[in-house]
Amino acid sequence: MTIRKNFLFEQKIAEQLEEIAKAEGKTQTQIAQEAIAERYKQIKMKKKLEALERLAGSLTGKIGNIDAKKARNAYVSEKYGY
């Protein structure tokens, strides 16, 4: 489904859009769509990286005050006599 949108461009930007479209053999709409899709992709990537950075500190192997690695070692030691 396509939706019609009307945009107002400064003269210089409109000329650049037209020149890019001609150089690439595409419509101005295609050029605008590609530019928007790329910008959106960058924003989504930035949000994912920010979320990953927020999680980075929480991936220490600790659950509350319990160190998961130490708990596993204690369990294995107890179960198998190590």
How far is CA 52 from each of CA 29, 56, 57, rounded to the nearest angstrom?
A: 34, 6, 9
- Would you say the C-alpha torsion 36, 39, 45, 47 has a positive or negative sign? negative
Verdict on whether the full-model pTM lies above 0.85: no
The confidence score (pLDDT) of residue 46 equals: 94
pLDDT at 3 over 90: yes
Average pLDDT for 15-40 = 98
Residues 30-82 pLDDT 10s: 999 999 999 999 999 999 998 888 777 666 555 566 777 788 888 888 878 76
Say which amino acid occupies 80: Y
Domain ranges of the chain: 11-80
